[in-house]
Structure formats: structure tokens, C-alpha cells
Amino acid sequence: MSRRSGWMAVDKNMNVLIVDDYKTMLRIIRNLLKQLGFNNVDEATDGAMALQMLRVGNYGLVISDWNMEPMTGLQLLREVRADAKLKPVPFIMVTAESKSENVIAAKEAGVSNYIVKPFNAETLKTKMTSVLGDF
């Protein structure tokens, strides 16, 4: 795929939903997305809130923390993949844990990609490119 068509493929104006129960992390991810040119970013502070937003909104990408209460990122991912309308939405899981059983569980649940904290804009861009295409 040429770079040119890559530019066409990824709409930087798409809505991105970031999910984390830690406000500081939401701010960090929002800032990283902004550096990458994505400005339409919504936030949810738990999985249940995120699911509600996904069902009424139109999102091109979900970036969710794994470790949240009462609904974890893994539970959210399973709900998204079980919903016919939401199933195709790319889903990147963020976690402080790189334990292989977590990675396997996320893969089995249909995660698009996986980021281990801490990470920078370059890592986020690499993971997003693998899921969305070049931008």
C-alpha cells in the first residue's frame, strides 16, 4: 500500500474513545492523540460508561485500560465484540501488565492490539498504524 492511499484510509477527524478510570492517564492519552493529529477524543471513566457511549456514538477506535472497576477493559472488549454494530471497531488495550495470560485472554476476546504502560506517542502511533493503516 502506498503512503498516498494510507493517508486516505485513516480519517484523523474520526471519533476516538479513550477509557480509563484514572483521569491522569486519560489526559496523557488525549495529549498523545493530539500530537498525532487526532482531536475528536471522548473519554469514559469505566467500561459500562464506555459501552453506553459506543452504542449511541460513532467511533473509529477505542483505546481502553484493562484494569478498571466495575467493568474491566477485557469485559468491555467482550461486550463490544459480541455486539454486531460495534464488532468491527478497532480496540487497543492498555495495561501495566505484560503477563502472557493477559495478552492471550485479550487476543481470544478479539483485541486489535495491545500497549504496555508506560508508552509514548511513537509507540501509540505504531500500534494505531497496525490497526488502522498508515497516517
What is the tally of structural domains in the chain?
Answer: 1
Answer whether 95's CB lies under 8 Å from 114's CB: yes
Query: Could you tell me if residue 49 is inside a domain?
Result: yes
Q: Is 67 left (phi over 0), alpha (psi -120 to 50) or beta?
A: beta
**Segment 28-37, tens digit of pLDDT:** 999 999 999 9
Mean pLDDT of the chain: 92
Structural domain for 111, as ranges: 16-121
> pLDDT at position 9, please?
66
| CB 74, CB 32: distance < 8 Å | no
Whole-prediction pTM value? Answer: 0.92
In a domain, residue 79? The reply is yes
Q: Which amino acid is at 71?
A: M
pLDDT at 8: 54
Would you say residue 65 has pLDDT above 90? yes
What is the CATH number for 89? 3.40.50.2300
Residue 72 counted as domain residue: yes
Domain-located, residue 47: yes
| Residue 9, domain member (yes or no) | no
Bigger pLDDT: 119 or 98? 119
